[in-house]
Amino acid sequence: MVDKAVWNALIDAARAARLQAHAPYSRFLVGAAVLDEHGRLHAGCNVENAAYPQGVCAEAGALSAMVLAGGRRLQAVVVLGDAGSALVTPCGGCRQKLREFAAPDTPILIADPLHSRALFTMDELLPHSFGPDHLT
Ligand code: THU
């Protein structure tokens, strides 16, 4: 159970990360923050590339930071961006990347810079998913 103060810290981290995004091509800035099993926060932003397919999503950056710091389980995820009335939910590839470290009930909060917008579980965003358990 993630308490409100921790959610707020995750949102703040994602908001700050978003402002560091390198998105000169889409101009669509995204920040992500994750809470690992040790209670540590890790953030990431999208990093685009002149060779467009080489760009990296914010969620991937946050997961890389988590793994580098020794985290292996996601307790909570925030994805924060501004798409007007649309929700900035993780892309399909990022849903699979998050799934690697998530439980079916891991909460994923979607926010814009000013508001929390929607709360999903991992399983809601990627039902019937393939994961590490399939390989054991
Ligand atoms: N983007 C993310 O960083 N995360 C998502 O979940 C959706 C999309 C980025 C990728 C690209 O740099 C920009 O947003 C526009 O697609």
The residue range of the domain holding 61 is 4-135
Cβ neighbours of 92 (radius 10 Å): 10
Please tell me the predicted confidence (pLDDT) of residue 1.
Answer: 86
- pTM recorded for the entire structure: 0.98
On the question of pLDDT at 38 being above 90, the answer is yes
Domain CATH code at residue 104: 3.40.140.10
Write the pLDDT tens digit of every residue in 55-68: 999 999 999 999 99
Distances (CA, A) of 99 to 13, 48, 75, 83, 91: 21, 23, 12, 24, 12
Reference 79, options 53, 105, 51, 116; nearest CA is 116
Count the domains in the chain.
1
Ligand 1 pocket mutation, candidates 20, 29, 91, criterion most atoms within 8 A of CB: 91
CA of 136 to the centre of ligand 1 (A): 32
On the question of pLDDT at 9 being above 90, the answer is yes
On the question of pLDDT at 13 being above 90, the answer is yes
